């Protein structure tokens, strides 16, 4: 199809096919895992440059670089609220057990084990902190596949690499005085014009003004992929690679594409939360969001990059992204 741009397609590395993506299409290797994810409504698979992530309810339950290599967040196996009280040797044993299941091709057993551990970690160790927003993010991914809303979800929890041409170039630094690696909640294609969009999700008003507030997220976009024409072009091409790979795996239909001639758009999605005790009404939450979006409160560079950006308003149990008139 003429609108599918395959330039830089990462199935091919030089003259050799990337072995990871080869194994994804192999019935005797990770292809079985891809099939399992496709047939499970609670799982999503996201493609990166040289690895893939499997997500369950917003948490990555596997970062896979080959059929024999998987990274797993060992915190999922914690049982104590204080890290110093943990039996880390026992946790290492559990992580090793999980990894051995995946390497042996026992994918369903691996997923069941990690899901159980993650559920306990979120609810009993973190006591639900930040979990609602993660679950909403995951539901948005599930409810915005092609043809079900005004957007087609392409990627989630995208981390900007410090090695990329669009690495962070702003004033912010980590606690170790290093450049941060900002994350984008959701990357999606708007179906009406095929424009690539980066969407920051917020649920409730609790985190609108703090370190991860709306203005800091907008600042991260402005100083990474949104910095100039080259950074946008490089990011667009990277996302187009993901489109082509997902199509080759049957994760996206063939008529999905990004119009590479259109600039990126950064926008917000705000979901009403009935648990917000400080601002219980929908109208109050909307007004509070708009206050933090449009009044300059970010003190680092004293510029409000979030002002005037589009907002998609979601009901509490509505996860479809729509451009309401």
Domain boundary among 66, 100, 125: 125
Domain C-terminal end among 84, 110, 125: 125
Does 30 score more than 60 pLDDT?
yes
Q: Which of 186, 179, 258 is nearest to 220 (CA)?
A: 179
Residue 320 is assigned to a structural domain of this protein = no
Looking at the fold, whether 121 and 184 belong to one and the same domain comes out as: no
Q: Is residue 25 part of a domain?
A: yes
Range of the domain at 90: 12-125
Q: Residue 325: pLDDT above 70?
A: no
* Most confident option among 3-17, 116-130, 243-257: 243-257
Query: Would 4 be classed as within a structural domain?
Result: no
> Mean pLDDT across the stretch 145-171?
92
Mark whether 76 and 148 lie in a shared domain: no
Residues 292 and 216 sit within 8 Å (Cβ to Cβ) = no
Reduced 3-state DSSP string for 8-72: CCCCEECCEECHHHHHHCCCCCCHHHHHHHHCCCCEEEEECCCCEEEEECCEEEEEEEECCEEEC
Q: How confident is the model at residue 16 (pLDDT cuts 50, 70, 90)?
A: low
The yes-or-no verdict on residue 147 having pLDDT over 80 is no
DSSP 210-267: STTSHHHHHHHHHTTTTSSHHHHHHHHHHHHHHHHHHHHTTSS-TT----TTSPPEEE
Whether residue 145 sits in one domain with residue 45: no
Q: Is the pLDDT of residue 299 over 90?
A: no
Entry pTM: 0.85
Pick the last residue of a domain from 100, 125, 150: 125
- Are residues 208 and 194 part of one domain? yes
SS3 call for 123: helix
Nearest one of 195, 214, 200 to 137, comparing CA atoms:
200
Q: What is the pLDDT of residue 134?
A: 79
Q: Which of 118-132, 146-160, 273-287 has the highest mean pLDDT?
A: 273-287
Question: What is the DSSP secondary structure assignment for residue 117, as one 8-state letter?
Answer: H
Percent of the chain with pLDDT over 90: 59
- Give yes or no for a contact between 221 and 266, defined as CB atoms under 8 angstroms apart: yes
Answer yes or no: do 45 and 137 share one domain: no
Residue 28: the pLDDT is 67
Residues 243 and 100 in one domain: no
In a domain, residue 61? The reply is yes
| Claim to verify: residue 38 and residue 145 sit in the same structural domain | no
Q: What is the mean pLDDT of residues 8-20?
A: 51
Instruction: Report the sign of the C-alpha dihedral through residues 161, 163, 166, 168, in that order.
Output: positive
Token digits of residue 316: 């509490």
Same domain, 49 and 144: no
Residues 95 and 148 in one domain: no
pLDDT for the residue numbered 9: 39
Residues 107 and 241 in one domain: no
Within a domain: residue 37?
yes
The reported pLDDT for the residue numbered 155 is 92
The answer to whether residue 138 sits within a structural domain is: yes
Based on the domain organization, do 115 and 181 belong to the same domain? no
User: Is residue 325 assigned to a domain?
Assistant: no
pLDDT attached to residue 210? 64
The domain tally of the chain equals 2
Q: Which residues of 41-67 are buried (b: 16+ CB within 10 A; e: fewer)?
A: eebbbbbbeebbbbbbbbbbbbebeeb
Same domain, 265 and 235: yes
Question: Look-up: residue for tokens 């927003």?
Answer: 133
Residues 6+ apart with CB under 8 A from 85: none
In this structure, is residue 91 part of a structural domain? yes
Taking the C-alpha atoms of residue 42 and residue 47, their distance in angstroms, rounded to an integer, is 17
């Amino acid at each position: 199809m003429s609108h599918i741009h395959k330039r830089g397609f990462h199935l091919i590395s030089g003259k050799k096919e990337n072995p990871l993506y080869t194994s994804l299409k192999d019935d005797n290797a990770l292809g079985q895992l891809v099939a399992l994810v496709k047939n499970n409504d609670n799982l999503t698979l996201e493609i990166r440059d040289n690895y893939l992530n499997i997500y369950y309810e917003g948490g990555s339950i596997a970062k896979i670089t080959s059929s024999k290599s998987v990274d797993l967040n060992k915190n999922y196996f914690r049982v104590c609220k204080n890290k110093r009280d943990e039996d880390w040797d026992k946790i290492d044993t559990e992580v090793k057990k999980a990894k051995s299941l995946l390497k042996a091709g026992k994918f369903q057993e691996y997923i069941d084990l990690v899901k159980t551990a993650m559920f306990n970690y979120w609810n009993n160790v973190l006591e639900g902190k930040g979990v609602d927003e993660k679950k909403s993010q995951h539901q948005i991914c599930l409810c915005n596949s092609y043809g079900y809303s005004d957007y087609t979800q392409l990627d989630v929890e995208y981390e900007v690499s410090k090695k990329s041409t669009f690495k962070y170039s702003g004033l912010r630094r980590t606690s170790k005085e290093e450049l941060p690696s900002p994350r984008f909640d959701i990357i999606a294609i708007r179906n009406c014009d095929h424009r690539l969009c980066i969407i920051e999700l917020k649920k409730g008003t609790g985190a609108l003004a703090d370190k991860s507030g709306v203005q800091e997220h907008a600042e991260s976009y402005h100083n990474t992929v949104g910095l100039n024409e080259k950074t946008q072009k490089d990011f667009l091409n990277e996302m187009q690679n993901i489109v082509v790979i997902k199509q080759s795996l049957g994760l996206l239909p063939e008529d999905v594409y990004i119009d590479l001639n259109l600039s990126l758009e950064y926008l917000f999605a705000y979901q009403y939360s009935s648990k917000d005790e400080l601002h219980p009404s929908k109208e109050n939450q909307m007004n509070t969001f708009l206050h933090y979006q449009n009044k300059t409160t970010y003190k680092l560079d004293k510029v409000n990059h979030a002002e005037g950006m589009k907002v998609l308003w979601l009901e509490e149990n509505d996860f479809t992204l729509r451009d309401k008139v």
